[in-house]
């Protein structure tokens, strides 16, 4: 070490190069970012550099070597934490962290086995450069010497940093026009402007969102209201009010995707009870129905179902806008004499539920303290589904009627582990332990639902209820595409296939109706609110909702995803490519263009309502702006 003549700025150069090279390697090894051409590869390779140069370059302003070295080491550690945090998050969510997610720390203590499943011993390698940097600073005396940095040297250094940034942005704009103004896709942002610049951009967007609420007034609702009224679907005359006065039991089926329904795994039926409902005379089964969640996953599905609005593209509405004014389904039902509740055997503060449920006008939250979790009945996230359903049916028998209760199941949750006594079918055999176990937890949930129907009958609640069950979000992410291709007997999972795999089942079971059927209508979670309210005879014509009644003859065969993808009965739009729905082949983009504009408008309007808290200016009883709300 002492015999080698180290250049006086070599520690800065080492830190810059190590972080830059490590970031590019991580891009290629830890994230599934599709590179279509040489220009995209070049952009991906240079995009960390401008921020890395700038962040470490601040050290040039320190006069003392000790302070300078400490700063370089701290920056190296912080950037490694940011990079690794995104890697760990991506392993589960197949997405990148946003600023609101970082403030959801109250959830982290409850992650348990889910977190353990995404952390590996080899992850220490993500900090290898920090460790080596620390060793060099300790062992090389040259790095402890004082250095005078000339002003012109600093100027040239930062001009280089800015030049690389402008080059990066220019190439990104050429490759993806209007990237920063129209993109709902975080992968596109990271791929084009880099991981670290993406987080700066996210900080800007979050600040803009906060300012949006402070500066908002009721006039912004006029355009939104005009759009909603122009696209409103009239209720189906025969179905409207047909089941008025019935109890509503809404069951969120954790991580349940549609590909398991009426399907087998190694000759074993995966969901025998739910399969029977698809042929049941009292059940409407929607087989072309999709989740529309973002990073909020289950909480997003709750929000969408309650409000018929989209979640946000960043973080979870439950955290970022829990104190907003909403016109929820629970509020509408409460105004019509219903007792409203949520049943979920988890910590009441998880996902900020105890706070936002007040904003959603929910009368009572039956959290984990409302249940007796006996020996062998606990799962990492709370309580197993079978005892949860059994105790919930007992609690429902004590509720004033009519009631509306929303239930959230837990067992079929990543990483999909079961106790041996709960296993009813064998594991699948693929390269993905996650997919292999998924079939077993789905089978357990199916059995739990079957027993729940029996519990409702025993409690005398079954005949006078509507039981609505839906998958809340995907269970198997794109990280397991190879295993999914094996199960589905495909060569590969394309963006077209992945979009269709976002299908989740929707069952509307109405005892005694005798007119159940399989419904092919394209729909999404945003349509559940108006569908249920119309079955009960509750008018929604003045509500600020973006969904429409699935039974309406005016319902459009279109479902929009939070990231801007969409599906109709004719086309699928994914990864900025238009596919023919019937063949899966790429088709003319003009077939998708009208829907692209529609999707962008709806996502923008929903974001405007939430970010501006615009419903505080709206009277849902009259359909008018609240007097004095326009500045």
Q: Annotated active-site positions, please?
A: 298
Phi, psi torsion values for 310, nearest 5 degrees:
-80, 155
Rounded-to-integer distance, Cα 255 and Cα 259, Å: 12
Concatenating the DSSP letter of every residue in 223-241 gives HHHHHHHHTPPPPPTTTTT
Give the C-alpha separation, 107 to 112, whole Å: 10
By CB neighbour count within 10 A (0-12 exposed, 13-18 middle, 19+ buried), where does 108 fall? exposed
Q: How far apart are CA 615 and CA 617, in angstroms?
A: 5
Mapped to the 3 state alphabet, what secondary structure does 471-500 carry? Answer: ECCCCCCHHHHHHHHHHCCCCCCCHHHHHH
CA distances from 75 to 23, 72, 133, 140, 158 (A): 14, 5, 11, 20, 17
Residues 6+ apart with CB under 8 A from 567: 290, 499, 500, 522, 558, 559, 561, 573, 581
Contact assessment for residue 144 and residue 65, using Cβ atoms and an 8 Å cutoff: yes
Angle, CA 404 vertex, CA 398 and CA 406 arms, to 5°: 100
Task: Calculate Rg over the CA atoms of the chain.
Answer: 27
Strand partners, 285: 507, 518
């Amino acid at each position: 070490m002492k015999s080698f003549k180290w250049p006086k700025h070599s520690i800065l150069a080492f830190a810059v190069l190590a972080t830059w090279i490590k970031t590019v390697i991580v891009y290629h090894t830890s994230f599934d970012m599709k590179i279509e051409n040489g220009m995209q590869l070049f952009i991906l390779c240079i995009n960390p550099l401008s921020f890395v140069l700038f962040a470490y370059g601040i050290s040039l302003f320190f006069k003392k070597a000790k302070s300078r070295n400490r700063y370089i080491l701290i920056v190296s550690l912080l950037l490694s934490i940011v990079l690794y945090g995104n890697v760990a998050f991506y392993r589960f969510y197949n997405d990148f962290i946003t600023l609101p997610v970082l403030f959801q720390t109250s959830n982290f203590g409850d992650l348990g086995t889910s977190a353990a499943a995404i952390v590996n011993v080899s992850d220490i390698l993500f900090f290898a450069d920090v460790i080596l940097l620390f060793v060099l600073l300790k062992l090389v005396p040259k790095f402890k010497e004082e250095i005078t940095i000339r002003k012109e040297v600093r100027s040239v250094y930062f001009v280089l940093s800015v030049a690389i940034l402008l080059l990066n942005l220019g190439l990104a704009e050429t490759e993806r026009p209007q990237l920063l103004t129209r993109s709902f896709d975080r992968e596109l942002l990271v791929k084009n402007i880099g991981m670290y610049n993406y987080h700066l951009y996210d900080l800007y967007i979050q600040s803009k969102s906060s300012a949006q609420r402070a500066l908002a007034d009721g006039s912004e609702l006029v355009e939104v209201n005009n759009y909603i009224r122009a696209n409103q679907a009239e209720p189906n005359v025969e179905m409207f009010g047909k089941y008025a006065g019935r109890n509503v039991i809404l069951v969120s089926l954790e991580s349940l995707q549609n590909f398991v329904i009426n399907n087998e795994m190694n000759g074993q039926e995966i969901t025998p009870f739910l399969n029977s409902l698809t042929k049941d005379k009292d059940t409407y089964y929607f087989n072309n129905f999709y989740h529309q969640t973002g990073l909020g996953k289950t909480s997003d599905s709750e929000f969408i179902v309650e409000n018929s609005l989209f979640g946000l593209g960043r973080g979870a509405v439950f955290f970022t806008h829990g104190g907003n004014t909403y016109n929820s389904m629970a509020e509408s039902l409460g105004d019509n004499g219903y007792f409203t509740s949520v049943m979920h055997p988890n910590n009441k503060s998880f996902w900020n539920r105890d706070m936002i449920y007040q904003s959603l006008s929910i009368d009572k939250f039956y959290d984990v303290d409302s249940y007796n979790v006996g020996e062998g009945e606990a799962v990492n996230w709370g309580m197993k589904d079978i005892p949860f359903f059994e105790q919930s049916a007992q609690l429902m028998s004590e509720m004033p009627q009519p009631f509306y209760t929303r239930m959230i199941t837990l067992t079929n949750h990543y990483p999909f582990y079961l106790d041996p006594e709960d296993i009813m079918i064998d594991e699948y055999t693929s390269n993905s332990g996650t997919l292999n176990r998924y079939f077993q937890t789905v089978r357990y949930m199916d059995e739990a639902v079957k027993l729940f129907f029996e519990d409702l009958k025993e409690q005398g609640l079954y005949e006078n209820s509507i039981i609505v069950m839906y998958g809340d979000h995907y269970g198997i992410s794109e990280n397991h595409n190879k295993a999914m291709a094996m199960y589905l007997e495909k060569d590969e999972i394309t963006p077209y296939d992945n979009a269709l795999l976002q299908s989740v089942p929707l069952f509307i079971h109405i005892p005694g109706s005798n007119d159940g059927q399989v419904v092919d209508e394209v729909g999404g979670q945003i349509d559940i609110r108006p569908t249920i309210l119309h079955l009960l005879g509750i008018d929604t014509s003045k509500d600020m909702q973006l969904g429409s009644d699935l039974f309406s003859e005016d319902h459009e065969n279109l479902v929009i995803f939070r990231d801007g993808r969409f599906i109709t009965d004719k086309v699928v739009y994914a990864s900025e490519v238009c596919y023919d729905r019937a063949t899966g082949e790429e088709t003319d983009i003009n077939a998708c263009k009208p829907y692209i504009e529609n999707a962008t408008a709806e996502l923008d309007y929903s974001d405007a309502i939430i970010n501006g808290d615009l419903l505080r200016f709206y009277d849902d009883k009259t359909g008018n702006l609240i007097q004095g709300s326009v500045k």
